A and B are shown apart, each in its own frame.
Chain A
Amino acid sequence: MSDPVALQMTAPAPVTALENARHDGPVTVAETGPWGMLTLRGDLSAAPVRSSLADATGLAMPEVRGVTVAGDRRVAWFSPDEALILVPRADLAGVRAALDGALAGQHALVADMSDARASFRISGEPAHLAEVLARLVPVDMGTFAVGELRRTRLAQVACAHWMPEEGAVELVCFRSVARYVFDLLVEAAESPRAFPA
């Protein structure tokens, strides 16, 4: 047997699907992360679930098709019984432990899905940003507001997106299709304005 010391024995840093690829332009597309992402399955209308979530994350449970954003944490409504919690990777273990603790004895599942998804931040002048998304997602981006969320599709794959603030859209998709989503977002971002100012 060869010398085990020659092998790397400390944990390598997690790597995002596209190693934080970005495309700069009037509308910038950047892969973000690595985030810590927790999927919560539970009855989101149940008060104990809502309060557990709030206690563990410091964020209120959003309304239907909504997202709560505070700093670098988000809680996203995904369905009547599913929420996605995004926190910095460094906070993941703590939030997870807090959530597991708070939910103990309740019928709920918390799964670490940090590596299952790729995440993107698309930013630019709000009207331009809206039309870039409108090329790919069947959503009325003209009225899409900060705090709203859609689980929808981007061209041929599932995605979810929301606006954390004016001029920015955050979008998650499954990790395996990260390249497809990035390529499409870049093409849409580079296309001439459909609604010139």
Chain B
Amino acid sequence: MSTRLTTGGTLIDRSKPVTFTFNGESLKGYQGDTLASALLANDRMMMGRSFKYHRPRGVVSSGTEEPNALFGIGQDGRFEPNQRATMQELWTGLEAATQNHWPSLEFDIGEVNAHLSRFLPAGFYYKTFMWPRSFWKNVFEPVIRQSAGLGRAPKSADDDRYEHLYHFTDVLVIGGGLAGLVAAQEAAQGGARVLVLEQEAHWGGRATDSDAQAQVDALLATLKGMENVTLRSRCMGAGVYDHGYVLGYERLTDHLAQKSGPRHRLWRIRAAQVICATGAIERPLSFAGNDVPGVMLASALRDYLTRYGVSVGDRTVVVTNNDDAYLTALALVRAGLSVPAIVDARDGGAGVLGAQAEAAGIRVLKGHAIAKVKGRKRVSGVAICRQAGEGAVVEEIACEAVAMSGGWSPVVHLWSHCGGKLTWDDAQAMFRPDPARPPLGAAGEGFVTCAGAAFGVLDAASGAGQAAEAGRAAAQAIGKPGSGAGSGAALPEGLADGSGANPIEPVWLMPGSASRKLRAKAFLDYQNDVKVTDIQLAAQEGFESVEHAKRYTTLGMATDQGKLSNINGLAILSGALDTPIPQVGTTTFRPPYTPISMGSIAGEARGDTFQPLRRSPIHAWHEANGADFEPVGHWRRPYTYLRAGETRDTAVTREINQTRGSLGLLDASTLGKIIVNGPDAGRFMDMMYTNMMSTLKPGKCRYGLMCSENGFLMDDGVVAKWDEDTYLCHTTTGGADRIHAHMEEWLQTEWWDWNVWVVNATEAHAQIAVVGPNARKVLEKLGAQNIGNEDFPFMTFQDHRLAGIDARIYRISFSGELSYEVAVPAGQGMALWTALMEAGAEFNVMPYGTEALHVMRAEKGFIMIGDETDGTVIPQDLGLHWAISKKKDDFIGKRAQQRSDMARDDRWKLVGLETLDRSVLPEGSYAVADGVNANGQRNVQGRVTSTYNSPTLKRGIAMGLVLHGPDRMGEIIRFNTVEGATVSAKIVDPVFYDKEGTRNV
């Protein structure tokens, strides 16, 4: 039985009971408990089932490294799976549910896998489920899905909000244990800005192990009094990146019953220097049954006792290869609990602590090991053997808990994220940071150092000294040293210095030559159920690289990323390969250190602010008048304006008929408007466009094409020559920013000596297209004078005052109708729109959307960037030779268009297409040809680029690119459909409507 003791627990407040539910059952804990400590206090030893074999599992650690005790926390909009009970602080009303079992935690069908484990070795899935193929989809996968997996994905939208915070600091200290606080104090002496992050709710890390809580409290008090120091608990250093960029993950409300404000805050930190004081993680030992609930890291068992007043069992057997675990035995005895034996794999046993243990009457079995743990859902005892040999049992000891320690691994993750290298320390049996090979900053200097246990200095006194050194070095590196080397701040006094300890002896398998039967129950990776035998099998099958063995066995690939298992796993691999550990190496450490919420990454980018939505000056009117929006870049443009009872199709038809018949309005404000100015503007325009632009007369407009360097058509639009040195380039809506950048790039990198300035004035003006036979009349009503066809011809512009607003009117047309595009300052766009709607009422004016725009331009055979072009089409393909100047020496794309592939005469060319049955061709349909290609696919001879129902012509019309198309007028070819049939269509001129241009006068 695990239980709460009547006294003890430095972190809990026994005067503040907290009730919470566990699988629906109401349980009691105290404020200050974690979910893990509270469950242990309620004798809930079994906290979940493993991923593959569904073995019963209990909590094994007391911190972020926890692989087993994962829960779904909360309900509905606040449900989150896979939360570590060791990091979840308790609050009244917390709802925790176990996961990965079916139908219940106690009785689980998947556990049958455990009995089949002989037949489910590493690589089993790869080997077994390959054949027959359909079995995977229909049989294996559904069954495995039902029984496997960790938590369930949330079904509701997240109720919480999240935020980012950009923070800049001179020195960032990650880790608020003794070393981190000492380093921070040193670094801050000279006035440097220092930020300290601690992932837990309390400060001091493992300082209680060395009786250093008083020193920690004193340090904290000093730091809190310094204006240049910021302290942050519940905030994990998640990742270290180039240029001193570090992510901090702050949990603001996960520990609160009453939640308000953001749930998580993602700190986006720029630090000149980073000190990783991230401590060390204790390693498990690999013996049979080391995963039975009740087997725990020695430090964790000690934490539950001293921090939370929780006993995991009345009788605890301690098993170790180093002195540290003796602290657990001594603490247990001090608390009045029983330690039947310390099983020390070392023949020599421990140093000073060993003597203390024996003085306390604890039996120490030197040179011994655990052969196996007895019990299934909880520990009932251990079988003892010699560490040497195969594991013949010499004695059995009854117990409820096992405290194991395989030594300590420095938390080098953050050091390693950005390229810090490791070195193998044989004496301490650990990988530790190699200070000669740190992560390098922009100037080639290291910007990360490690302090204390993270550096591999495990005793408190030496760790504090080294941390102070690290703090001083960081301050010096940024030119803000303290009052003098070594005299900055007083080091805490009275710290344990680790003298009199016996060295660790590496023990990667227990007993040393354990039989296969024992090895097959010795777990390395608890979360992914990887055993010693799996790694050995991987090595035997040739997966010798640590990265390959990892992927073959899934060692370290679970949500804990192998914090407990990696070193033990690669040591086993090293043994199987007869290769020293440093040569086997480690797998790559990647951020984040532990999983962070998706919400924190999204930050403010959710709901209405998920993406910036660009609104035209007339957007509000569209919204209020039935606009059915479509995204165009980040803009929202009305696709059509729906009236009561209308479908999209009928609304588009109405808009087109009214525009061609009387008067339509289009909000064209989103079109790009780029001003090009300067003495060399004409020369520049001639390079940018395929046409000759420099010869344009002021006051006139010309349609132009822009190509990329590779000759492909990238944008089009009407250019207006404002004055001798100034052009206005209209671009497509989606092309405005891209074309502006394109122009700047050429000006800044190639033609830096040309006198040209460019300004993107897209948003300065609202632009409204006034289109239809009554367009002129409505402009005259608003005050325009002398705008008849002769006074104001097509492809010119004039300034007028409309409804009191200064307007520049371009007589251009994308529909074939009489059409004026009126530009006014954006802030007066709404006023002009309203005036046009009022003045147009007598003509039954209708706004039209992008679909009507598209259909009307297709009826006139005008191409659309993105429909007729796809990045592989050149203007010549589209019959636009007339817009490609032959007089110019050069323009962007000219040379490319002379390449053989561009010049060949069998490129598909633009034609119009009319179906014989008047139907609308499917989008993207291909024109089929005889025979099949080398892949057995039907040969093709063209494709549809635009296809619409034309309300004007009352039939389907399309444009397409067809092999030798313009030479095949009148020929009938067939297009495929999704259903598999074909549709016959006649090749025709792409101008379907008003070929003579009688309407635009």
Mutual binders A and B: yes
Q: Does B268 contact A (CB under 8 A)?
A: yes
Q: Which of A139-169 contact B (CB under 8 A)?
A: 139-143, 155-157
Q: Is the CB–CB distance between B783 and A155 below 8 Å?
A: no
Q: Does A71 contact B (CB under 8 A)?
A: no
Q: Is the CB–CB distance between A111 and B675 below 8 Å?
A: yes
Size category, B interface? 35 or more
- A 79-121 to B, binary, CB cutoff 8 A, 1 in contact else 0: 0010000000000000000000000000111011111110000
| A contact set with B: CB distance below 8 Å | 1-2, 4, 7-12, 14-17, 34, 39, 41-42, 81, 107-109, 111-117, 131, 134-143, 155-157, 174-180, 183-184, 187-188, 191-192, 194-195
Stretch at the interface among B17-25, B356-364, B760-768: B760-768
Q: How far is the CB of B857 from chain A (nearest CB, A)?
A: 24
Interface of A is mostly: loop
Q: Is the CB–CB distance between A7 and B835 below 8 Å?
A: yes
Stretch at the interface among B280-288, B645-653, B799-807, B908-916: B799-807
Partner of B761, one of A14, A107, A113: A113
Interface of B is mostly: mixed
With A1-B777, A8-B835 as given contacts, are A15 and B612 in contact (CB-CB < 8 Å)?
no
Q: Is the CB–CB distance between A143 and B759 below 8 Å?
A: no
Q: Does B375 contact A (CB under 8 A)?
A: no
Q: Is the CB–CB distance between A113 and B783 below 8 Å?
A: no
Partner of A12, one of B611, B755, B826, B828: B828
Q: Is the CB–CB distance between B804 and A8 below 8 Å?
A: yes
Q: Does B838 contact A (CB under 8 A)?
A: yes
- B 595-617 to A, binary, CB cutoff 8 A, 1 in contact else 0: 00000000111001101111111
Chain A positions within 8 Å of B804 at CB level: 8-12
| Beyond A34-B827, A180-B612, 18 extra complex contacts between A and B, CB < 8 Å | A2-B781, A7-B803, A9-B783, A9-B803, A9-B804, A14-B825, A107-B757, A109-B678, A115-B765, A116-B826, A134-B166, A135-B165, A139-B166, A155-B604, A155-B609, A177-B613, A177-B634, A194-B165
Q: Is the CB–CB distance between A187 and B765 below 8 Å?
A: no
Q: Is the CB–CB distance between A180 and B757 below 8 Å?
A: no
Q: Is the CB–CB distance between A135 and B828 below 8 Å?
A: no
Q: How far is the CB of B167 from chain A (nearest CB, A)?
A: 7
Q: How far is the CB of B898 from chain A (nearest CB, A)?
A: 34
Q: Mind listing 28 A-B residue pairs with CB under 8 Å?
A: A1-B781, A2-B781, A4-B783, A7-B782, A7-B839, A12-B831, A108-B757, A109-B759, A111-B761, A114-B825, A114-B827, A115-B825, A116-B761, A134-B165, A135-B604, A139-B166, A140-B166, A140-B168, A143-B168, A174-B763, A176-B635, A176-B763, A178-B615, A179-B613, A180-B609, A183-B608, A191-B261, A192-B261
Which chain A residue shows the least CB distance to B832? A12
In the A-B complex, the 8 residue pairs with the closest CB atoms? A14-B827, A176-B614, A140-B168, A115-B826, A41-B757, A116-B764, A109-B757, A12-B831
For B268, B763, B831, the residue with the greatest tally of chain A CB atoms inside 10 Å of its CB is: B763
Q: Does B265 contact A (CB under 8 A)?
A: yes
Q: Which of B250-281 contact A (CB under 8 A)?
A: 260-262, 265, 268, 270
Q: Does B662 contact A (CB under 8 A)?
A: no
Q: Which of B656-687 contact A (CB under 8 A)?
A: 675, 677-679
Q: How far is the CB of B168 from chain A (nearest CB, A)?
A: 4
Q: How far is the CB of A147 from chain B (nearest CB, A)?
A: 19
Chain B positions within 8 Å of A194 at CB level: 165, 265
Q: Is the CB–CB distance between B617 and A175 below 8 Å?
A: yes
Q: Does B986 contact A (CB under 8 A)?
A: no
- B 610-652 to A, binary, CB cutoff 8 A, 1 in contact else 0: 0111111100000000000000001100000000000000000
Chain B positions within 8 Å of A39 at CB level: 759
Considering the chains assembled together, what is the distance between the CA atoms of A7 and B783 in angstroms? 9
Partner of B828, one of A14, A137, A192: A14
Which chain A residue shows the least CB distance to B669? A176
Which chain A residue shows the least CB distance to B681? A109
Which chain A residue shows the least CB distance to B611? A156
Which chain A residue shows the least CB distance to B614? A176
Considering the chains assembled together, what is the distance between the CA atoms of A41 and B725 in angstroms? 14
Considering the chains assembled together, what is the distance between the CA atoms of A4 and B784 in angstroms? 11
Q: Does B230 contact A (CB under 8 A)?
A: yes
